[in-house]
Structure 1
């Protein structure tokens, strides 16, 4: 894997976001797909690299490992600044970009962590159903707030090129609450996601990961 990145991920998961970032940056990479919750050699290796056993996990060309998706995208942006994944450090929109990026990973992503398999945290039964329902409600509320914040004339969240925030949205519209709800409840986020998918290289990554229509 000399000189190449390795994205460890699973179909339909956030690994597609990191893969799109590497494609946009033109960085050589390989994708290792595995059912990350299934016991076996693949999960054993994943746990050795990332003790939380989560995907995406990114192995850098020098063997170092990143385990948080936002760190991965910011790293790629540092390595390939011309890719436009983030506003420049002195750009007026930089602060708002960072706020939205961290909002996605700190306020939205955890709703899937706790809501996808709520019985892990509560035990089976009514409490699990309640946790799933409440995390679903919270997620939609945050997405609605983001929809209002990102309203504007630009094609993407912070300009005319797809950046890190846009890549997250392009994948997330296919997760709960689903594509139809995004179109109805958050039309701005839906339009951003469609704009990302319309770019051939990025759309191909989404499609390969089962995150595309048709």
Structure 2
């Protein structure tokens, strides 16, 4: 498998999952600013949408949406319990979390990275994000991870997206349960390995 990624982008989520799963893969650095692979190839010729993550299977099939990619990877190694079994209520709770993180958190961070976004929009966006993150903080009470005591692919996604808060001035102070959760996830060997692979920590 090949994972096209950009350091610290949402592709960190499947990067973490690959390490958690112990699956063999080739990571291909594809910075979002240049859209070029290390050999100079225009990434748009590989993925016409131009964004990461992008997963290419050994048989040439591809996946290009993070929540789909991480579930696919989890299902390759069911013994790792990175996703509940298909058809169970818990699987739908996982999908609920992946959808929430994607639509309520991930997409709300996007305007904050855009220099063209007016300041009043950024202010309103930060308020909305903190409201949603405050709710997550409450949902994590008494739990090690989003789904309880077991780390799942949803945790890889939430950790990745919540990393962006400090980059765009979203202050998580006061969200103590979320901060403790982030520290717990950050200490996982697979998370350390994925972040080292992306040059995010030494």
Q: Do both proteins adopt the same fold according to a TM-score greater than 0.5, normalized to the shorter chain?
A: yes
Gaps of 5+ in 1: 120-126
Q: TM-score, normalised by structure 1?
A: 0.80
How far is the alpha carbon of 1:10 from its aligned partner? 1.2
User: Secondary structure of 2:2's partner?
Assistant: strand
Q: TM-score, normalised by structure 2?
A: 0.84
Change (3 A) 1:150 1:199: same
Give the structure 1 partner of residue 157 of structure 2: 168
Q: How many residues align?
A: 200
Give the structure 1 partner of residue 120 of structure 2: 130
How far is the alpha carbon of 1:114 from its aligned partner? 2.9
Give the structure 2 partner of residue 199 of structure 1: 188
Change (3 A) 1:39 1:206: closer
Give the structure 2 partner of residue 148 of structure 1: 138
Give the structure 1 partner of residue 18 of structure 2: 22
Structure 2 distance, partners of 1:137, 1:185, is 14
How far is the alpha carbon of 1:74 from its aligned partner? 0.9
- Contact kept in structure 1, 2:105 and 2:161, CA below 8 Å: no
Change (3 A) 1:79 1:111: same
Gaps of 5+ in 2: none
Give the structure 2 partner of residue 11 of structure 1: 7
- Contact kept in structure 2, 1:22 and 1:76, CA below 8 Å: yes
For residues 179-194 of structure 1, the aligned pairs below 5 Å read: 181-182=171-172, 184-194=173-183
